[in-house]
Amino acid sequence: TASTLNSLNKWTPPTASMPEAKRDRLWEKLLASVDAAHEASVPIVLGTDNGMPFVFPGYSVHEELELLVEAGLTPMEALVSATQRAAEMMGEEDAFGTVEAGKRADILILDANPLQDIRNTRTPEVVIKEGKVIDRSSLFNLE
């Protein structure tokens, strides 16, 4: 609704008024916290919080993958956090999270290896949802 959009336009991140040096230190602490949790074998699960200002479904997942790698996870560990770990945390590992017969078939086929550069997840060649190839141009049709 218009009132919701207006309230989002007025929202400013809590760090917006911080001096840049303080914001950078906070950011480094956040990344170090993720790395420390990872090193302590805490399960890391990717899951952007939809409904939050400036968090957009799809796009934000790619950004979060990149941030996990920046925090110290390998690209493979970041991908597992978005797939297998996410399914396990929801108790749905029998339904999705890994590519196996009988599981839900939502897959991105990439033309570049995300293990070499996690940013390669941003450019899927083919999108398969529920076992059907999706016309990528339809993903951006807002009508």
pTM: 0.77
Q: Tell me what the mean pLDDT of segment 2-24 comes to.
A: 64
Query: Which tokens belong to 116?
Result: 């070499």
Task: Output the CA angle 115-49-97, nearest 5 degrees.
Answer: 45
Residue pair 67/81 in contact (Cβ under 8 Å)? The answer is: no
Spatial separation of the C-alpha atoms in residues 44 and 42, rounded to whole Å: 6
Non-local (6+) Cβ contacts of 46 within 8 A are: 61, 64, 65, 68, 78, 81, 82, 85, 86
pLDDT digits (tens, 9 = 90+) for 124-135: 888 888 888 987
pLDDT digits (tens, 9 = 90+) for 58-115: 778 888 899 999 999 999 999 999 999 999 999 999 999 998 998 887 888 998 999 9
pLDDT of residue 14: 63
